[in-house]
Homo-oligomer: A and B are copies of this chain.
Amino acid sequence: MNKATARAHPNIALIKYWGKRDQALFLPATSSFSMTLDGLSATTTVEFSERFSADQVELDGRPIEGKALLRFQMLFDRVRALSGVDCPVRVASTNDFPTAAGLASSAAGGAALAAATSWAAGLDLGAHDLSRLSRQFSGSACRSVEGGFCEWRRGERPDGQDSFAVQVAPPAHWPSLRMVVAVCSGAEKPLSSRAAMQHSVETSPFFAAWVDQVPRDLALAKEALLRRDLGALGPIVETNACRIHAVALGAHPPTFYMRPLTIEVIDAVQSLRRDEGVGAWFTLDAGPNPVVLCEEKDAPRVAARLRRIEGVERLVTAGPGEGVCRLDEHLF
């Protein structure tokens, strides 16, 4: 039976991915580094069958059509070429968290899609091959293939064969590390990361300096993570996140991701640290929702503080999660 279901978790970058060196191949300008989250997940069922008259994809019950479908079909075609399975495909996928709100839904979904498609076609890819396949669907998806703490190495080859994620440490390395996600708005973000990144690459005078300094931030963050030193990791994570927002703010015209509520959350984190001595640091993807990095023991206090801010719709606390896994039950 050419059918498989995969579940994958989102990841939140500790050292951000911002900007591609090759748009067609999803090759990043820099390496990046993330934590895969437990709790939240995307589940995707894929079936190849001659019964289907055409490729069909449904995300959270909504059919995907036109240009958006083409992006999926590029992945299907890759898997068809690798496997020799040459028939239409049906895909259904669900997320248990809001899409396109800076919560890396495309990362979880992309990793689950790549895995389920390859399994449905009978392929038995290793983690690095699966990561590379995921990357070609949605860049940061490559970091959700494995669990714990993963580095997406930019690679050097023009064909992107050496650009995939590798696990730096498994979830068990630091099981008490937490990310508290403050969902500030269910609204879709105004500009896709893809378009905003490219706008930064083309018009921000700060892009080149961003690329130059990532290796330093990345080396420091990995060392701090391997030592489980949150007091060293936190400040690097906070600064590195601000730097992608700075690169975007420097574009012409400027790209703003921060909302009034984002700044209120950042204020709360800085106040927790300064006034109450709580070891909490924020990070911020290309969306309005801040994520707070802290130890498990401090997570309830962080969550209680953020809950008091009007407009914070939901708080999700997650620890280091596992990589993509295969499920026996299907969505259809």
Residues of chain A whose beta carbon lies under 8 Å from any beta carbon of chain B? 204-206, 208-210, 212-213, 235, 238-239, 242-243, 245-247, 249-254, 256, 258-261, 263-264, 266
A285 to B332 Cα, complex, angstroms: 57
- Please give the distance in Å from A265's CB to the nearest CB on chain B: 10
> Do the beta carbons of A253 and B266 come within 8 Å of each other?
no
| Number of copies of this kind of chain in the complex | 2
Residues of B within 8 Å of A261, CB to CB, are 260
Q: What's the least CB distance linking A242 to chain B, in Å?
A: 4
**Bound: A324/B208 CA distance, A:** 42
Known: A206-B246, A235-B253. 20 other contacts (CB 8 A): A204-B246, A205-B206, A205-B212, A205-B213, A206-B206, A206-B209, A206-B250, A238-B254, A239-B252, A239-B253, A239-B254, A242-B249, A243-B250, A246-B246, A246-B250, A247-B250, A258-B263, A260-B260, A260-B261, A260-B263
Q: Given the complex, which residues of B lie within 8 Å of A210, measured CB to CB? A: 205-206
Provide the main secondary structure of the chain A interface: helix
- Whole-angstrom distance between the Cβ of A270 and the nearest chain B Cβ: 9
Most B CB atoms within 10 A — which of A206, A245, A253, A260? A206
- Complex: A109 Cα to B147 Cα, angstroms: 59
From B205, B239, B243, B249, A245 is in contact (CB under 8 Å) with B249
Listed residue (A246, A254, A258) with the most chain B CB atoms within 10 angstroms of its CB: A246
Instruction: Across the interface, name the chain B residue whose C-beta is closest to A206.
Output: B206
11 A/B residue pairs, CB under 8 Å, sorted by A: A204-B246, A205-B206, A206-B209, A239-B253, A243-B250, A246-B246, A246-B247, A260-B260, A260-B261, A260-B263, A263-B263
The residue in A208, A249, A254, A263 that gathers the most chain B C-beta atoms within 10 A of its C-beta is A249
User: Which of chain B's residues have a CB closer than 8 A to the CB of A238?
Assistant: 253-254
C-alpha gap A205/B209 in the complex (Å): 6
A271 CB, nearest partner CB in chain B, Å? 12
**Contact status A256-B250, CB under 8 Å:** no
Which residues does chain B contribute within 8 Å of A252, judged by CB atoms?
A: 235, 239
Which of A205, A212, A235, A254 gathers the greatest number of chain B CB atoms within 10 Å? A205
Given known contacts A205-B213, A209-B205, is B253 in contact with A263 (CB within 8 Å)?
Answer: no
Cα A254 to Cα B206 with chains together (Å): 15
Report yes or no: A259 in contact with B253, Cβ–Cβ below 8 A. Answer: no
Closest 4 CB pairs of A and B: A260-B260, A246-B250, A242-B254, A246-B246
